[in-house]
């Protein structure tokens, strides 16, 4: 059942879309009830004309980092009008066709609301968004230059809130190692020091994704990989990584 | 309901039952595997003498058959239960350890010439330090730094010329964590394989050995589909 993992459930978007459809249903039922029972069309025809009205040409614009599609040409509406006006039935159907077109705007608003809600629930750049559940955190040494160290998981949970977003000087970090390399002979490559020689696994973000965290050699800097981005955080007061192995 | 309607209904039901029986039959994995004759018939190099060393069940749908061709060529083949029959999905005659993606877990397996005196395999997950910078200076600036990763685990080769072992947990976890995010990495940070591992053979003194005897006759392999992949031999210059 592979698709279970590849399909991403975005809860906020789902709830918002469901709400939008519920509003539409209520609105159409309301219109139908208000419609003179002698004149109103059959229910299934209303569904068809609504879907036809929904059809439109739209442009996609990026707004607040979301792609918003704005309906501009009501093609479905035009087609319905041409066909129905010939047999003079347009009047009966027009309100449902127009609601179909209007639904485009409702969905547009839905996307905006969903984007707003996720930015409120999962604020970008705040460490708590990405390091939400750290109870399963485990430290793995990923580079030989890492010192023998002890990872205090409880202290880590406490320290997380003290971390602050900083600019990542990726080129600087890379070049620092290149310089080390130039100063060493080929057989001394085992002396190269990696800036982030640890990996912390088992961390989940608020959205429920697992987030790999690369830990700086001094235990005070973290590089977080999210689905789209990488963030660099530092805290001078972090003390969850202790050098040396405890005597216990 | 008219007679005709009833007839159609029965026909449809019969079709549904027939189709589901057919598919469930294909899904059910039989308890017995192929006989030696049947295996030999499915192996390449038809005109060479072949001796099957062992038939090892790795999981319900996967068998590992190490064999020796022409008395000296140590070879492996993997059979999977696919589309209702045992299918040879991989062949190899001169490789070091290979990666097998079984149903639940990844494994490594091998079959090498005893004259190479291999005591154990060291499996490495290596990734060279890397960075990327897109849209510098703009609002959409994205930076990525990928640390140099160098993790290794040792697997004992065992007494026989052939063997298999699950991928060491720590190695597996590290690879999986590192390759999880970002979902759409900058090109430089992408991984070509699910488990980008390399290997180095060691003798009982802990010295690195090359598989001279295993490879003296040349050879090749077929690593089809999603099941078996080759692992790179370690390039020592990449170590830090």
Per-residue pLDDT tens over the stretch B130-155: 888 888 777 778 889 999 999 999 99
Of A70, A86, A121, the residue at which a domain comes to its end is A121
B237–chain A Cβ distance below 8 A for any pair? yes
Per the structure, the complete domain to which residue A77 belongs is given by 3-121
Check if B240 contacts A (Cβ < 8 Å): yes
**Are the beta carbons of A227 and B181 closer than 8 angstroms?**
yes
For residue A3, the model assigns a pLDDT of: 39
Q: Are residues B233 and B222 part of one domain? A: yes
pLDDT at A9 over 80: no
Q: Are residues B4 and B118 in the same domain?
A: no
DSSP A26-46: HHHHHHHHHS-TTT---HHHH
What's the mean pLDDT in A119-126? 87
* Percent helix, strand and coil across chain B, each to the nearest 5: 25, 40, 40
Q: Is the pLDDT confidence value at B41 over 90? A: no
**What is the predicted ipTM?**
0.79
Structural domain boundaries, residue B36: 32-238
pLDDT of residue A12: 84
- Residue B187 — very low, low, confident or very high, per pLDDT cuts 50/70/90? low
Mean local confidence (pLDDT), A147-168 = 93
Letter string b/e over residues B201-228, b meaning 16 or more CB atoms within 10 A of that residue's CB:
bbeeeeeeeebebbbeeebebebeeebb
Q: Which of A142, A174, A195 sits opposite B149 (nearest CB)?
A: A142
> In the prediction, which pLDDT does A8 show?
52
| CB-based contact, A145 to chain B, within 8 Å | yes
Total structural domains within chain A: 2
Total count of domains within chain B? 2
What mean pLDDT do residues A211-232 have?
Answer: 92
- Kindly report which listed range (A237-241, B19-23, B222-226) carries the lowest average pLDDT score: B222-226
pLDDT tens-digit profile of A68-77? 888 889 999 8
Q: Are residues B42 and B123 in the same domain?
A: yes
pLDDT-derived band of residue B225, with 50, 70 and 90 as boundaries? Answer: low
Within a domain: A248: no
Q: Which chain B residues touch A192 with a CB distance below 8 Å? A: 148, 240
């Amino acid at each position: 059942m592979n698709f279970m993992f590849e399909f991403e459930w975005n809860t906020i978007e789902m709830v918002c879309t469901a709400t939008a459809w519920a509003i539409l249903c209520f609105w159409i039922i309301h219109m139908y009830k208000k419609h003179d029972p002698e004149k109103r069309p059959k229910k299934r025809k209303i569904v068809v004309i609504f879907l036809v009205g929904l059809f439109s040409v739209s442009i996609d614009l990026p707004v607040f980092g979301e792609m918003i599609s704005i309906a501009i040409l009501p093609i479905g509406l035009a087609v319905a009008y041409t066909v129905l006006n010939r047999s003079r039935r347009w009047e009966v159907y027009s309100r449902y066709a127009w609601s179909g077109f209007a639904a485009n705007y409702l969905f547009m608003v839905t996307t905006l609301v969903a984007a707003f809600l996720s930015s409120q629930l999962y604020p970008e750049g705040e460490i708590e968004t990405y390091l939400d559940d750290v109870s399963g955190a485990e430290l793995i040494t990923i580079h030989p230059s890492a010192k023998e160290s002890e990872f205090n998981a409880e202290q880590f949970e406490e320290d997380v809130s003290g971390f602050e977003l900083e600019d990542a000087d990726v080129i600087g970090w890379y070049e620092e190692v290149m310089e080390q390399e130039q100063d060493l002979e080929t057989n001394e490559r085992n002396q190269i020091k990696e800036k982030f020689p640890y990996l912390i696994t088992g961390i989940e973000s608020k959205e429920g994704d697992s987030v790999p965290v690369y830990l700086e050699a001094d235990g005070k800097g973290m590089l977080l990989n999210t689905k789209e981005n990488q963030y660099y955080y530092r805290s001078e007061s972090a003390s969850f990584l202790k050098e040396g192995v405890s005597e216990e | 309901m008219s007679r005709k309607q009833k007839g159609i209904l029965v026909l449809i039901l019969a079709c549904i039952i027939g189709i589901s029986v057919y598919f469930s039959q294909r899904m059910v994995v039989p308890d017995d595997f192929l006989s030696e004759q049947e295996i030999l018939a499915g192996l390449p190099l038809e005109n060479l003498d072949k001796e099957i060393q062992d038939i090892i069940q790795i999981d319900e749908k996967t068998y590992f058959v190490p064999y020796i061709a022409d008395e000296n060529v140590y070879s492996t083949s993997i059979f999977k239960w696919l589309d209702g029959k045992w299918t040879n999905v991989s062949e190899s005659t001169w490789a070091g350890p290979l990666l097998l993606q079984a149903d639940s877990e990844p494994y490594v397996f091998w079959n090498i010439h005893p004259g190479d005196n291999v005591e154990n395999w060291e499996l490495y997950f290596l990734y060279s330090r890397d960075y990327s910078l897109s849209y510098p200076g703009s609002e959409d600036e994205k930076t990525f730094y990928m640390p140099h990763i160098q993790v290794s685990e040792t697997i004992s080769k065992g007494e026989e010329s052939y063997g298999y072992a699950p991928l060491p947990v720590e190695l597996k976890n590290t690879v999986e964590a590192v390759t999880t995010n970002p979902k759409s990495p900058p090109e430089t940070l992408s991984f070509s394989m699910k488990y980008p591992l390399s290997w180095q053979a060691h003798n009982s003194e802990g010295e690195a050995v090359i598989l001279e005897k295993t490879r003296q006759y040349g050879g090749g392999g077929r690593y089809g589909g999603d099941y078996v992949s080759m692992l790179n031999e370690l390039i020592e210059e990449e170590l830090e």
